[in-house]
Structures are given as C-alpha cells and as structure tokens.
Structure 1
Amino acid sequence: MAGDVHNKGVSWEVQQNGTLAPVDRLRNDRSESPTPGLVEGTEPGAGQESAMFVHAQSFEDLTADNEVPTETEPKGDSVLGESVEEEALCLAAEEKIQEDLQPAVALEEEEVRSESRSKEEDVCTEAWRSHRKHVFVLSEAGKPIYTRYGTEEALSSTMGVMMALVSVVEADKNIIRSIHADGYKVVFLRKTPLVLVGVSRTCQSDLELTRELQYIYYQIVSLLTLTQLNHIFQHKQNYDLRRLLAGSEHLTDNLLQMLDRDPGLLLSAVTCLPLASSTRDLVSSSLQAAKAKNLVFSILLAGDRLVTLVRKKDQYLHHMDLHLLFNLVGSSSSFREGEGWTPICLPKFNTAGFFHAHISYLEPASDLCLILVSTDREDFFNLSECKHRFLERLSRRSAYQALKEALKCPSYSVTQVGIPELRHFLYKSKSSGLYTSPELSLPYQSEEEQERLMGLYQYLHSRLHHPKRPLRSVYRCGETENLMAWVTSGFELYLCFSPLGTKALAVAAVNKLLRWIRKEEDRLFILSPLTY
C-alpha cells in the first residue's frame, strides 16, 4: 500500500501514545487570554493530540495541486495493461469500471427523471445563458464529457472552440488561465488528459473558481483513477469518456450544488455534529475497537456532519477526499437499502488505485452513515462484521441512545452566543481542519437568500486569500447586512451582522464569540482523534 503522501516537508515527532503528529502541532497548552487562539495550535477547536487531517499552513497549501506519483498502489486496485490493442483496451476498461461502479451509481427512477429534465434544457435559450455559473469538461481532443446545464451533444461545437482557445495560446508557449469580459469570468484548468472550463457571473476570484474545477476533476478521478484515465487516452485520444461515466453525472451535479451552498468546501474544512465530548469519545473508542487488518479509515457521518473519524496510524485524510465521500453518500439513496460495497479512489491520497468502501446506515431511517475504507477488494464480509461489532459495542455502552438524541438537534442557534446583532458566522480552526457555524435563521431561510449569503462569504474569502494582495481583515457595510472577516495563523472567522451594527460593535463581538467557542469547543469539535 502507498505510504503517506501528505507528510512531505513536514517535521514529525513520535508522541507518548505512539502516534505521529507534526512537531508544530504538539501544543497542548490552551490559551487563557481574553482573545484566545491567535496562534495556530492554541485557537478554539484546536486538536489537543495528534492531527486528524492533512496538515497545511494556509488555504493556498490546502488547495495546491501537489500530487505525487507513487510506485506502490493500494492492494486490490485495477490498472490497465499496456500490451492490449486500443479498442480492446477501452472496451475492457469500460466493462470493468461499469461493473465496479454499479453500486455507486445506482439511482432511483425519480432521481434519474429529475436529472434528465435538467439536461433537456435548450442551450439556445436565454434561460440557459442566464445561469450564474456553467461548468464544462472536455478531453484534449475536444470531445465533450460533461456540462452542468444542457446536453453535451448540443454543446460539442462550443467545447471545440474552448479547446481551440487553449491550443492557440499553447502554440505560443503560453497557458490560458482566464478571460474576463462583459461581467463574466471564463476560467480554464488543464489537467491532462482533461480540460475543465468554468464560466461565472459571481464575485468569486479566479483562484476560487479554479479550486471548484479541481473538485470536479477529482470527482472524475475518484471514479476511474488517474492511471485508468491516462491509459485510456494514451491509446485512444478521441475516446468518448461519457461511456465510462454514464450514470454518475448526478455525483458531479450534486458536488456543484455543494460548492454553491456548503461552507466546508469554501473553507477546506469539515463541520462536526454537536455532541457531548463524553459521548463522542465513547463512539470513537467503539469504532477504534471494531478494526480489521486492512482497514484504513473509519468514518461516521450524520447527514452532512462528521461524528468521528478513526484512521490508521501514519495515514491522513485530505479534506477534498472526505468531501468526495460526503458527496458519494449524499448523492444516492441506494445505500439506505443495505450494505454497499464500492471502489473509491481518494485522489488527494493516491491517484493510482482504488480503495474499497463499505457504506451503510446504522438504521434505514437514520442519518447515521458508517464508511469503512479498506485496501482489500475482498474485505466486504470482514468490514460488515466490523460494523456489527461497532453497533453492539455502541449499544452496550449506552452511547447509541445519546447519539440518537443529538441527531434531533444537529445544529444550534446563533442566539446561544448572546450577541443580539449577530445573524450568522463561520469559524474554522486551522490546526484541526474543522469549522463550526449555527443554523441559518431569518432572513436566510430561503434557498435564494442562503446562496446570496454564501456568495458574500465567497467574496470575503477571495479578498482574504487574494493571490497578490491578501488581507488580514475585511469589514463590509451593505443595505441588508454588515459583514466582517478576519484571518490569523490560528483561525478564520466570517461574521454576518444586522445592517444597524457598527464596526466597533463587530470588533467587540469577535472577542465575545471566541470566548463562547472556547467554552463550547468540547461539544463542537473533535479535540482528541483516535488511531488504530
């Protein structure tokens, strides 16, 4: 199995419990100052022991495209041979991947019909042009692979023009990054053998639109592996990749919706189910005890929230990979029908091969979903037994009932903070890679208002992380709300206030909010992640 590809350039030290953690994370002292957490490792929500996710110092590090090719691949992966004829190679790959991905792309008839309706949109109408964000994926030969709206066939000539633009610029030994015209941003991302194009009328920066295109690229890689992808196009450059991806379009569609609405993908972080630390520790230890030889990650989800994650020692999960797992589970209801078994490539861990995921809900009507990731394709029954041992141990220790009670209130109200003018906030602990935010209340309960607020957060994020002129803090006054953003080496914070608030009030609110998060951190964050 591939070694950890995420610890390059980071100093590591063995702790007393035998786990590895970056040296600069071994800070167990909690800040007692009135404004805690200006330094990474002491901020509210910082892990007190080993790191749970890939360590990165900044947003730019987290989203950097730093793939490292590995010679060793996870056991049970599927790599195409090189001595096969072109057409036989592609057909064999198609049959193999279609067979492997059958559990992952299973959909109910209603979901298929809904997707078909969105794809039937006429690309010549003003309604199609009026969408705020389009995404196109094509091969380097100009073959259409995916479009968010409309059909690929209707847009084949448009995608041909896109590929021509890329080729013309490259002929002059240059690279086309983006085009800005008439209020639109057209962003290009070339990831051989694919080209991804985003067309947007939002306030997002080129960097953030490129990051979203990277998510789409990794979604495709997670289904095929980069090794499969490269072999196919090396042997047949004009291959129609839609033959392999047929039935999985809903995954990309759902991921794009997450990018528009889920702050976690903006912050490169994950949010946790609010849970008493004693209960979370019992759940984590029960999951730790239900282990198997080839088990790498055990992940318990509650809807779109993380309950706990137990990992194999020395192996770290990247946020993008975890978001892809969230998307896989959230995109299909078929996993509720029984225990699922599907290959999954975790591209930020290793693009070369498949892991194999056992996915099942603890109860059919529950939002608690257990994902067990193994390196062995024949491990289904072992992992099924792990699930039953976990459930048995959980029930015996009475933690299961406490977990069910927590599901009745999966979020919290902003009024609990005690700041009357505060409407909403996002807080990310950099060292733990986790974030917290309250439920959206009035006036942000409609989908339109939620996307508008998300757009404002995206604007603030782009100002803080501008590639040439990054800011440490931003205060913005508007007609409907005032916003503030602040980034330190320890955390990122985004706040939304009523329009009657002042800047002085916002600054004072930051101190009060940080003290409240410190007080509630045991419930809102995973402070002591476990390993096998």
Structure 2
Amino acid sequence: MERDDNQEKGEMEEIKSENPSSDCTLSTGSADLTSALPSENHTVAEPAVPVGGDDGTKVTLEEPKNPPPSDTMGEEGTQELELATDQELEPAPVQELEPAPVQELEPAPVQELEPVPDQELEPAPDQVKDEETDECNKTEYHNSSGGQPETVPEEASSSAENVQDDSGEFVVTMLARGKLEEQDMGVKGMSSSLSETGAPEAPPSYRDEDVMAESWRQHRKHVFVLSEAGKPIYSRYGSEEALSSTMGVMMALVSFVQSSDNMIRSVYSDGHTVVFMQKGPLVLVSVSSSRQSEQQLRAELLYVYYQIISMLTQASITRIFEHKKNYDLRRLLAGSEKILDGLLNLVDSDPSFLLAAVHCLPLTSSLRDSLSQILQKAITPNLVFSILIAKNQLLTIVQEKTVIEDTRLEPADVHLLLNLIGASSAFQAGEIWTPICLPLFNPDCYFYAYISYLDPPECTVCLLLLSTDKEAFYAVAECKRRIELAMLAQSSLRLIANAHSYSVSQVGVSDLRHFMYKPFDVPDNHKQLTQFTSPEMEAPYSTEEERMRLLDLYRYMHSRIHSSSRPLKLIYHVAERETLLAWVTSKFELYTCFSPLVTKARAINAITKLLRWIKKEEDRLFIRYPPKYSTTPNPSKSSRKSDQQDSTDNGFASLL
C-alpha cells in the first residue's frame, strides 16, 4: 500500500497516480470519442480569455494523462460544494422566448425570396410541413376527466404564449402549440396555465445570470452546446447571447485543431478540465473544476446530446444543418432549457448515471409479478414498451416479444424518460401524448409516449406506454384504464405507496455505511435491463453537502476502476472520514463505504456478508427476467435501427 501524495490521511492500495504537469496541456485524439459515465458541478475561467496561463503553456498532440486524483474531499472540496449550493438559490427570471416568433417570420417573405431562393427560404418548408403534418404528430394534452375532446377555446392562445414565455415548461409549450394548430384535437375541460393547476414553483433559473460576475465563475461545472458555425444553442449558466463570443472562441479552437486533421478532446489548466465533444453538427463543451475524470465529463456531454436528440431526432438535426449551416437551433429547442437543466442536476446527484444502470424500487416478488401481469394483459397493436415508475424508480417494464429478440431498452433511454417526466409538473395534470425519440434504441425515429399518473393528487406512480402508431392515443388510453382498474382491484397502489427504499441497517453488516451494487450475471439472451441497488443515504450523509462528498468519492473510485490507462479490479482506500472498497468482477461491480477505522480484513469479511444478503434478496431488489408479450402486427419494425424509413418529420420537428 502506498501513501497518496495528494492527501495526508488517505491511503490507497495498488494505485500509483501521476499528476499532470502544471502546464496547460492541449490533447487531441481520433474522431471516435470514448463515452464513459456521468458527473457534477464546476468552475470556469473568464469568458473570452484563453484557457491556461500566458507563460509556460504547452501544446501537445498526445493523449492527456489522467487529471490529478484526489483521494478525499477535504475542507477545500467542502467549501466548493457549499459555495455552489448557496449560489443555486439565486432565482433569475426567464426572458428567452419573447422576441423569437416575430423576428424570425417577418423579414423572410419580402427580402430573402428574390436573391437566394434555395438557402434563405429553408425555414419556410419546415413551417409548411407543420401545416401538412397529421394531427397525431402534435403533442396532445388531455384532462383525465374523460369524454371526447373539445375544440380549444380562443383564450388558450394567450395561455399558450404565457407558458411559452416560461422556458421551463417545454412540454406545456408543445401541447398548447399543438392545440392551436389542430383544432380537432383539443383539451378536455378547461385550458389553464401551469400556475393555475396548483403545480409547485419551478426551481431557480440561471438564464440571465451575469456572465461577468464572480458567482458565474464559481460554478463547479459549466456545459455549453454550440453549432459548427459557432451559433450558441445552450448554456447551463448565463444566457446564450451573452456567451456568444466565448462560444466563438471555443469553436475557433476546435476549428484550429481540425485544420491539422486532428480533433480536440480536452484541455488541462490549473484547477480546470475542459472537455470537447463533437457529434455531427453539434459541439459540446464541459468546463469543470471538480475532480471528475475526462471520461466521466465526456459521458455527461453524451447525455446532453442524447437529450437533444430525444426531442428532435438525429436525422432532423443533420438535415437542418445540411441545408443551412448557421441555423439557430434554439428556435426548435425553445422552452426545453428546463429539461436540459434537470438532466444535469440529476447527473450531479443520481449515481445511476455514474453506473449506467437503472435503480429499481424494492418490491416483493409477488407484487412485482402481479404488476407485470397487469401490463402484459393490457396491450394494443403497435404497443412496444409498458413502463411503471414510482418515486423516480422503476417498478416493472414489459416489452413486446420481438423487441426483446432484437434489442433491449438501454438505461440511458430510461434515464431520459425519467428526466422528461420530472422536468415538468404538467404531467401531473392529466394524460399526455407526445413524440419522444429513444437515441440508443433508434436515434432517427419517434415513439409516441402516453404518460399518466395513476394516483392523483400524490402523483408518485406514473405509467408510460410507448407506441409506434401516432394515431393510437385512444387505444393506448384504453390500455391505461384497464391497467388502472386492475391495480385498484388488487390494491396495488396502496401496496406501492407502502414500499420504500431499504436502510443499510437491514443488511446486518457492522461498520457498513452505504454501498452500490450492479450485477452482471444475467444471461445475455434475457436482454435484461442493466440495474443496480443501493440503500438510502443516512447519517452521516444526511445533508446535501455530505451526500455530494460521498458521491465525489464514488466517482473517484469509479474513475480508477475504469481507467483507460490502468484499470483496477480492487481498490481499498482510506479517506479522512471513511474507508471505501471498490471491487469489480465478471459478475458484479461493487462500491462500499465503511466507518474510518475498519481494517482491510474486516472490510473484506463485511463484503462477503453483504453479497450473501444481496443474493438472498435479489428477487426483491431487481427485475430478474423481463416480462414480454406479443401484439399483431409486429410493433417493433417501424422503430428499429434496421428500418430504413425516415420518420423524422413526426413529433417536435413538425410543430415548427
């Protein structure tokens, strides 16, 4: 065991870390970007100022060494967390969407038609497609009161504009816009804004934060999205307009490296890591002052890209920028900032992104099987996935039989669905019918998602039904009613309400404070959704600051286990306030946290007991074998990657 140079009290077995030089290092690699797992909050240097110092800056074309590891989160890390947490509480009004509709549409017919008929009229065909699109391509909102849909009243127009001004409620904006364009698919009952439904207030927004202020620089992690032409698309903190010059510098740096037939991957400077990722016409940048590895930051950028694809599809984005390279993609993503913000907040606080796995709510096997059978019986043609969620955790998932034979639903797609539901309280008001792309299943096509809560007003149990038929709303809604009746008859909702995550004390292992366990031993032929289990975080990790500190330790252990240069199988790490042990085998991946005085022998003995307990409780902790059903006609072909038909004119893109 060697003593780590970066931590006075930390110890690490079989780990030798190499600290990168203090010089700023620019590293490039091949065009194939390696994706890993998620991340957290950071700080950025002044905008429009090149990264690194003026003296001694070193530029190389080699793969960078790993960022300097930190074995423990000491006082320095704690202070950063406190500062970031305090700044999160500053609310900022949202003003993004006011001028967009008028400015984009007014000059186009007169000035641009004559000189450049091909390029300048590119937005016009999109608007024509909007009028020609089938009514079921529109996102629809239905009150759960029942009855046939009515025509949207004229008052809904002003309500839609109010909602559109709120950049957080993207889904509500899409719903209202769809109503105004398709009068025959209206709202059942009254049309009201989100505030009128009694929904909770949105979390603070940072859209108008001053990018020159010190508070903006103190954020632990910034995320930027821009186009190849340097057009701003998204910024986690501050408005895109105020950061346009900064993003222009980023794009200039990318282009400079590309001019020598290379691709910029990362920049290391004193206290910061800048990670670049180029996906098609989009460039994503993360500027981080945290201790996360480059791979983890890159994986987080990949999630941001997937979230954008889930709303527009990859084929639509590619086609748009082929026609007009300087197109402002914010016109299509208007109002979606809250969805992207919510995703990044989840990545910071939810270990499921780090493990690339889904967290299941512990249930008795009899109750989980009963719920699966209910979903299996309530089917309709072209229904592909039936998903039941409670308390932001998975209860059960049922897939169409042919889908299981060809592929499986990936954890990242489930994470995007969970984030979409959590991003807007509008889903609690009734039944939602909206197009959604699952990027890892098929990045170029839409599913049509029926979303409804089964237990209002608590709204903890949510049903998602994914169909490939855009006209199947009423058929899928009937499936929901059958599921609801069956669950009421079996008192399933009451049993789900009584289900809770377990405490680490139930494991019966002394000195064990917390753990995360991800199994690998399910046969591939079952196409099992990757899952993990973890107890609730309890004392001494009751505060937000302590929970984030523990997650930082897990991220560090994860980066050493999955290091691209020297991956490890077993790490025993003594930190200042706890002892951690990480172990990966062909059957599982395990991260454990013990009290600080636990010896190595006692920790290994405790892990043996923990593995026995997990084995005994696995039917309660995991969905062991995914249930399946069969519908006619074959529902999966139209949304599979092997299908060559382009269905990207559906959904969100068709609304504009």
Query: How far off its partner does 1:89 sit?
Result: 3.1
- Tell me if the contact between 1:115 and 1:250 (Cα under 8 Å) persists in the aligned partners: no
| Pairing partner for 2:122 from 86, 89, 106 | 86
Opposite residue 447 of structure 1, the aligned amino acid is E
| 2:464 paired with 1:371 | yes
Task: Identify the residue that residue 106 of structure 1 maps to in structure 2.
Answer: 172
Equivalent runs, 1:240-319 vs 2, <5 Å: 240-315=328-403, 316-319=408-411
Opposite residue 371 of structure 1, the aligned amino acid is L
Query: How far off its partner does 1:404 sit?
Result: 2.9
What is the CA–CA distance in structure 2 between the aligned matches of 1:111 and 1:503, rounded to whole Å?
A: 50
Query: How far off its partner does 1:112 sit?
Result: 11
Task: Identify the residue that residue 526 of structure 1 maps to in structure 2.
Answer: 623
What is the CA–CA distance in structure 1 between the aligned matches of 2:275 and 2:129, rounded to whole Å?
A: 31
Query: How far off its partner does 1:86 sit?
Result: 1.6
Task: Identify the residue that residue 74 of structure 2 maps to in structure 1.
Answer: none
| 2:395 paired with 1:395 | no
Provide structure 1 residue ranges, at least 5 long, that are not aligned to the other structure.
Answer: 1-59, 65-81
Query: How far off its partner does 1:527 sit?
Result: 1.5
Task: Identify the residue that residue 130 of structure 1 maps to in structure 2.
Answer: 218
| 2:216 paired with 1:180 | no
| 2:330 paired with 1:238 | no
- The secondary structure found in structure 2 opposite 1:121 is coil
Task: Identify the residue that residue 446 of structure 2 maps to in structure 1.
Answer: 354
What is the CA–CA distance in structure 2 between the aligned matches of 1:236 and 1:92, rounded to whole Å?
A: 17
- Tell me if the contact between 1:355 and 1:375 (Cα under 8 Å) persists in the aligned partners: yes
Opposite residue 309 of structure 1, the aligned amino acid is I
Equivalent runs, 1:132-531 vs 2, <5 Å: 132-315=220-403, 316-364=408-456, 365-406=458-499, 410-430=500-520, 431=522, 432=528, 433-531=530-628
Q: Which moved more, 1:319-328 or 1:443-452?
A: 443-452
- Tell me if the contact between 1:90 and 1:232 (Cα under 8 Å) persists in the aligned partners: no
- The secondary structure found in structure 1 opposite 2:253 is helix
- Tell me if the contact between 1:480 and 1:498 (Cα under 8 Å) persists in the aligned partners: yes
Kindly provide the CA deviation profile for residues 41-82 of structure 1, in whole angstroms up to 9, marking residues without a partner as x.
Answer: xxxxxxxxxxxxxxxxxxx89879xxxxxxxxxxxxxxxxx9
- Tell me if the contact between 2:584 and 2:590 (Cα under 8 Å) persists in the aligned partners: yes
How many pairs were matched up?
453
In the superposition, relative to structure 1, how do residues 102 and 197 fare at CA in structure 2: closer, same or farther (>3 Å)? farther
- Tell me if the contact between 2:503 and 2:536 (Cα under 8 Å) persists in the aligned partners: yes
What is the CA–CA distance in structure 1 between the aligned matches of 2:245 and 2:455, rounded to whole Å?
A: 48
- The secondary structure found in structure 2 opposite 1:357 is strand
In the superposition, relative to structure 1, how do residues 374 and 210 fare at CA in structure 2: closer, same or farther (>3 Å)? same
Opposite residue 105 of structure 1, the aligned amino acid is V
What is the CA–CA distance in structure 2 between the aligned matches of 1:93 and 1:458, rounded to whole Å?
A: 46
Opposite residue 441 of structure 1, the aligned amino acid is E
What is the CA–CA distance in structure 1 between the aligned matches of 2:414 and 2:437, rounded to whole Å?
A: 11
- Tell me if the contact between 2:37 and 2:354 (Cα under 8 Å) persists in the aligned partners: no
Kindly provide the CA deviation profile for residues 266-308 of structure 1, in whole angstroms up to 9, marking residues without a partner as x.
Answer: 1010111111101110010011100111100000000211000
Query: How far off its partner does 1:353 sit?
Result: 1.5
- Tell me if the contact between 1:292 and 1:386 (Cα under 8 Å) persists in the aligned partners: yes
Opposite residue 207 of structure 1, the aligned amino acid is Q
In the superposition, relative to structure 1, how do residues 397 and 363 fare at CA in structure 2: closer, same or farther (>3 Å)? closer
Opposite residue 106 of structure 1, the aligned amino acid is V
- The secondary structure found in structure 1 opposite 2:498 is helix
What is the CA–CA distance in structure 2 between the aligned matches of 1:452 and 1:97, rounded to whole Å?
A: 50
Query: How far off its partner does 1:260 sit?
Result: 0.6
What is the CA–CA distance in structure 1 between the aligned matches of 2:385 and 2:119, rounded to whole Å?
A: 35
What is the CA–CA distance in structure 1 between the aligned matches of 2:134 and 2:267, rounded to whole Å?
A: 36
- Tell me if the contact between 2:222 and 2:235 (Cα under 8 Å) persists in the aligned partners: yes
Kindly provide the CA deviation profile for residues 387-440 of structure 1, in whole angstroms up to 9, marking residues without a partner as x.
Answer: 11112222333434322322xxx2111011112211111001124411100001
- The secondary structure found in structure 2 opposite 1:339 is strand
TM-score normalised by structure 2 residue count: 0.66
- Tell me if the contact between 2:254 and 2:264 (Cα under 8 Å) persists in the aligned partners: yes
Opposite residue 123 of structure 2, the aligned amino acid is E
Identity across matched positions, percent: 53
Query: How far off its partner does 1:192 sit?
Result: 1.2
- The secondary structure found in structure 1 opposite 2:242 is helix
Kindly provide the CA deviation profile for residues 115-155 of structure 1, in whole angstroms up to 9, marking residues without a partner as x.
Answer: 67422211111111111111000000000000011110110
Kindly provide the CA deviation profile for residues 254-275 of structure 1, in whole angstroms up to 9, marking residues without a partner as x.
Answer: 1001111111111010111111
- The secondary structure found in structure 2 opposite 1:300 is strand
The structure showing larger relative contact order (alpha-carbon pairs under 8 Å, at least 6 residues apart) is: 1
What is the CA–CA distance in structure 2 between the aligned matches of 1:287 and 1:516, rounded to whole Å?
A: 30
Opposite residue 492 of structure 2, the aligned amino acid is A
In the superposition, relative to structure 1, how do residues 102 and 242 fare at CA in structure 2: closer, same or farther (>3 Å)? farther
Opposite residue 362 of structure 1, the aligned amino acid is L
In the superposition, relative to structure 1, how do residues 111 and 204 fare at CA in structure 2: closer, same or farther (>3 Å)? farther
What is the CA–CA distance in structure 2 between the aligned matches of 1:314 and 1:515, rounded to whole Å?
A: 35
What is the CA–CA distance in structure 2 between the aligned matches of 1:468 and 1:101, rounded to whole Å?
A: 47
Bigger Rg, which one: 2
CA RMSD of the aligned region, Å?
2.4
In the superposition, relative to structure 1, how do residues 112 and 281 fare at CA in structure 2: closer, same or farther (>3 Å)? closer
- The secondary structure found in structure 2 opposite 1:427 is strand
What is the CA–CA distance in structure 2 between the aligned matches of 1:462 and 1:302, rounded to whole Å?
A: 31
Kindly provide the CA deviation profile for residues 168-202 of structure 1, in whole angstroms up to 9, marking residues without a partner as x.
Answer: 00000011000011021100000011000001112
Kindly provide the CA deviation profile for residues 202-237 of structure 1, in whole angstroms up to 9, marking residues without a partner as x.
Answer: 221111111100000000000001111111111111
Query: How far off its partner does 1:97 sit?
Result: 12
- Tell me if the contact between 1:225 and 1:352 (Cα under 8 Å) persists in the aligned partners: yes
- Tell me if the contact between 1:101 and 1:223 (Cα under 8 Å) persists in the aligned partners: no
What is the CA–CA distance in structure 1 between the aligned matches of 2:201 and 2:365, rounded to whole Å?
A: 43
Opposite residue 388 of structure 1, the aligned amino acid is R
